[in-house]
Structure 1
């Protein structure tokens, strides 16, 4: 009998199952094929969300409910195969957040790690543990676990960004805590740019000791990251499966920037088509520049800047760029690597 072959359900066996069910027992042999699978099996589906549609819905929501009433005015990107669960993959959450001119999304903190990836507007701010940073298009901003954070918009234009959180992971471990602050905005105790100066110049304070797992830098500016990609592309060293793909890191230890979420930035030159690739980390992608298409298990999705699409675990994926393109992405790869679960298939590359 193979690992996934279910034993025959005879009348005698069904009667036995019914009897032990009353005492909260279940026979492993009756369910093994559904809980131990030869390859990843998930209800998560490939899907794409068009930013222009999402922006229109968000602006409509902006006229229906305030940021303070909602606490966070967000539209969840819910995977079609996981409806009702607030998940974009089985382990990750995604949502699009709107802060209108003059608004404040009030201060709170929670066990979950969060990232912000700025998609529309310029000049709004977020504050994390006493330091405020201005947000620009393409910036990758971190809110570490249990860090006070609030958002404000003093510009005259709406501000929209993608929120990525590890809510399903924290929920799985029954480890969720959250609390609000008495004030809408936290006290600012550090100069803007302080964390970047302390930790982002290939130096550390002399007696610094790492106490938390997230990066002490919480705004990775797109301008700086894009400049790095531009320098590296001149070397013409293209990975067949990824083009030029980099991961955001914690400068303290060189590990991923976040403890449970792995963020990446990737450049594809015009006309480049990546080789088929698959991995166990279901991944959320956001084109920042350029246009192209992505094939996911044989299904093709055309994309442009600020669209959002998801690749489920262990689905073959290939990207093709019609013009030079940059993709931001995030997955749970860092958590899988720490648990010894991560696996990838690069074909013959």
Structure 2
């Protein structure tokens, strides 16, 4: 403010400063002093590119498993905090992410909350999750959602740890100050539907007769990896390879083709052998998790090398390219669903824009 006033007469500067002082006493501030940082020509994300190595995070999770039970923690999760947002429990400005572990014989008690959640299973057999009265056993690579305000609990009937990536829209919910949460009366919710019920009703290309859709999230909460990978392989064989994304599919609500949840979009993509993508950027910060393979992504000017299980972030409007030697499969999620509903989302490909 001082530099902008140096050419003004001293009495004008004094009068302005007195005005600003009086504005401060009534909890007001002049727009002309802050407009440049409020309305920017391009996105200015606080989040930074970054990577969490799965091997190291797994060691820390196992150590936590020796020190705190799932019941004590309610959810034994290591939050992945972006270096540009430390202390805020956020991986981007709109999203939360963490790595959760359930040890053999444990139960993560049933609860529900306003925030929507997704899971991408990274390791282990015998783990299960129950959502809204249906229990399914999880396999590595499965994508699972728990829509807003649905009871959900997790457990492990296997003989080894089960680990998955959590993604939640907690920062969006808290932005609107709309957070609610509630514990179930018991550790586990009552199971009222057989395993596979939701997929049979809504995920087979058929619907119950005269079905009327309700809610904004997918009624199918379990998307098996083996089904998604078969689709990716079929498209690769057909030569359907995008220059920016390889072979990329989005998880959808089968009732309307929209994203599986109203705030978060999720994707699975196959990067072919020796693939090098063209530069791409979009307004949604992307959280990637490596299902299989290894490679590197150049995010802005930062080179991020990755392998199976690693998690990395591409902030809003940051240019990204991917490179592989062997075939690789990446899971990702972002707030694109919310941005599109608000009319805010943009992307830019090399040589094109929208």
TM-score over 0.5 for the pair: yes
- In structure 2, the partner of 1:81 is 84
Scaled by the length of structure 1, the TM-score of the pair is: 0.97
Aligned to 1:123: 126
Counterpart Cα distance in 2 of 1:220 and 1:11? 65
Q: Is 2:244 the counterpart of 1:241?
A: yes
In the alignment, structure 1 residue 268 sits paired with structure 2 residue 271 = yes
Alpha carbons 1:108, 1:181 under 8 Å: kept? yes
Partner of 2:310: 307
CA distance in 1, matches of 2:121, 2:162: 8
- What number of residue pairs does the alignment pair up? 344
Shift of 1:271: 0.7
Given that 1:7 and 1:29 are in contact with CA atoms closer than 8 Å, whether structure 2 keeps it comes out as no
Structure 1 counterpart of 2:40: 37
8 Å Cα contact 2:124/2:160 also seen in 1: yes
- Deviation sequence 1:121-150 (CA, Å, 0-9, x none): 122000001100100101000000000000
* Pick aligned residue for 1:62 from 61, 65, 73: 65
TM-score normalized by the length of structure 2: 0.95
1:28 equivalent in alignment to 2:28: no
Match of 2:322 in 1: 319
TM-superposed CA distance for 1:103, in Å, is 0.3
Structure 1 residue 11: Cα displacement:
4.2
Tell me if the contact between 1:292 and 1:319 (Cα under 8 Å) persists in the aligned partners: yes
Q: Could you tell me which runs of 5 or more consecutive residues in structure 2 were left unpaired when the two chains were aligned.
A: 7-12
Q: Does 1:166 align with 2:191?
A: no
CA 1:28–1:59 in structure 2 vs 1: closer, same or farther (change >3 Å)?
same
Find 1:336's aligned residue among 339, 346, 349: 339
Rounded Cα–Cα distance in structure 2 between residues aligned with 1:195 and 1:238: 31
Shift of 1:7: 4.9
- What is the deviation of 1:238? 1.6
CA distance in 1, matches of 2:22, 2:330: 54
- Asked if 1:211 corresponds to 2:222, the answer is no
1:46 to partner: Cα distance: 0.2
SS in 2 for 1:209: coil
Distance 1:331 1:228 in 2: 22
SS of the equivalent of 2:163 reads strand
Match status 1:252 vs 2:249: no
1:228 aligns with 2:231: yes
Pairing 1:104–2:107 present: yes
Distance between the aligned counterparts of 2:75 and 2:227, measured in 1? Answer: 28
**1:298 and 2:305 equivalent?**
no
Relative to 1, partners in 2 of residues 1:106 and 1:11: Cα closer, same or farther, differing over 3 Å?
A: same
Q: What secondary structure does 2:321 align onto? A: strand
Q: Is the 8 A contact 1:293 1:303 kept in 2?
A: yes
Q: Which runs of 4+ in 1 moved over 6 A?
A: none
Q: Is the 8 A contact 1:7 1:30 kept in 2?
A: no
Q: Deviations over 1:16-70 (max 9, x none)?
A: 2122101101100011011110000121000000001000000110111111111
Match of 2:203 among 188, 200, 203: 200
8 Å contact kept, 2:114–2:179? yes
Counterpart Cα distance in 2 of 1:164 and 1:212: 20
Determine helix, strand or coil for the equivalent of 1:288: strand
Which whole-Å deviations, capped at 9, do the CAs of 1:248-271 have from their partners, x for residues lacking one? 110000111111000001111011
Q: Tell me how far apart the structure 2 counterparts of residues 274 and 13 of structure 1 sit (CA, whole Å).
A: 53
Listed one character per residue, the Cα deviations across residues 110-130 of structure 1 (whole Å, up to 9, x for unaligned) are: 000000100111220000011
